[in-house]
């Protein structure tokens, strides 16, 4: 599974005021949500696991320090949700669970059709 991320994401205005720890937490949660097909939802237990230890949490440009999670909510990259967070605009840039499953099903069906054609052709030639 892949996640779409613009090559200049770190220059986006919303990232300009957050700490390195918040940036890393965002990327970890973004990739986790994509891999687990949650449409951008990340549960609290996962966020806690992904908070980077030993990384400076003081935001750049003299802002007062907050937790990385709070920073991401304050700048609008995350929204609070029941039991966790929702990554803002996740499904605008990443495929949804429904899209991924539909694509997988289409590939499987294509594979089945190809296998039927191949093996049907082989069995006719072997008679």
pLDDT means over runs of 10, the chain (127 residues): 88 90 96 96 96 69 71 96 97 90 79 74 52
Taking phi over 0 as left and psi of -120 to 50 as alpha, with beta for the rest, 46 belongs to: alpha
What confidence score (pLDDT) does residue 97 get?
Answer: 83
Would you kindly state where each structural domain of the chain is located, as residue ranges?
A: 1-95, 96-127
What confidence score (pLDDT) does residue 54 get?
Answer: 74
What confidence score (pLDDT) does residue 104 get?
Answer: 78
- pTM of the entire predicted model: 0.76
What confidence score (pLDDT) does residue 64 get?
Answer: 54
Distance CA 14, CA 60 (A): 12
């Amino acid at each position: 599974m892949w996640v779409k991320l613009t090559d200049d994401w770190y220059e986006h205005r919303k990232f300009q005021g957050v700490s390195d720890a918040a940036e890393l937490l965002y990327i970890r949660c973004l990739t986790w949500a994509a891999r687990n097909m949650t449409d951008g939802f990340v549960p609290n237990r996962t966020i806690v696991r992904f908070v980077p230890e030993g990384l400076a949490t003081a935001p750049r440009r003299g802002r007062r320090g907050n937790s990385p999670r709070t920073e991401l909510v304050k700048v609008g990259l995350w929204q609070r949700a029941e039991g966790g967070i929702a990554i803002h605009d996740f499904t605008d840039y990443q495929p949804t669970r429904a899209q991924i499953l539909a694509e997988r099903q289409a590939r499987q069906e294509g594979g089945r059709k190809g296998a039927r054609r191949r093996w049907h052709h082989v069995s006719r030639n072997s008679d």
